[in-house]
Amino acid sequence: MDASLLMEYGWVLLVLIALEGILAADNAMVLAIMVKHLPEEQRKKALFYGLLGAFVFRVGSLFIISFLVNVWQVQALGAAYLLFIAINHLFKKHVRKKDHHQGTAKLNEKGSSFWMTVLKVEVADIAFAVDSILAAVALAVALPPTTLPQIGGMDGGQFLVILIGGLIGVIIMRFAATYFVKLLERKPGLETAAFIIVGWVGVKLLVLTLAHPSVGIIDEHFPHSTMWKAFFYVVLVAVLVIGWFAGSKKTSELEGH
């Protein structure tokens, strides 16, 4: 790889890590509620088993996706799903706040047995993994091809970016989620920004779908053009910056709650 290609791949990997971190914090809060009723030792085991399952699922599903990534119907479904989860989250958080908080509280109303809790954590982890994998694929497939051998139907460099980003996401959820939870407490606008970015990544995948040779609604070279890439990342960074400064809580306010 030449320097410019390495920089572009490195930039996408950094974006993926940042997005994984913010989403992992939100996911970690849900998982914490799910296992709260268990004794501390069982709590750790339930989270470990759940995260182990998420790790296996991420790696396995990535190999499957690598064969399907260039199928426009799969791209269209991925775009629709990313847009749905972004709009659904924003609607619940900002339009139906009461229902959203009640729904979260219900997760811990009734304590389940250890293995039933493990199953719930497993299902939740897999759902979170689907979101992350689709967002990563949407970001990576527009990267320029490398000289690395293909894996499935995907360029080897693109595959590695998604794989590394996904593995780091699992590590963040296991070890660094507490830091990101505290960060979200201080910068609550980041959570909204993360889901707006998920929706924006869905738009990116939609553009890729519309440019697919079998669809041909827009020029097939447009998703790889410098103009579109620059516009996409300018908007992405702008959303993150606005999220960082919007709704920031002062330290004194946090200490008072």
Residues 66, 167 contacting (CB under 8 angstroms): no
Angle at 21 between CA 67 and CA 121, to 5 degrees: 75
The model's pTM is 0.69
Q: In whole angstroms, what is the distance from residue 115 CA to residue 49 CA? A: 10
Three-state SS for 154? strand
Least confident of 17-31, 38-52, 72-86, 227-241: 17-31
Written as six digits, the tokens of 239 are 């959303």
| Residue 235's pLDDT band (cuts 50, 70, 90) | very high
76, pLDDT greater than 80: yes
256, pLDDT greater than 50: no
Residues 84, 195 contacting (CB under 8 angstroms): no
Residues 28, 50 contacting (CB under 8 angstroms): no
Written as six digits, the tokens of 142 are 């527009």
Q: What is the pLDDT of residue 210?
A: 93
Under DSSP, the state recorded for 151 is: B
pLDDT tens-digit readout, 94-146 = 776 655 444 444 444 455 677 787 777 777 667 667 777 778 888 888 788 88
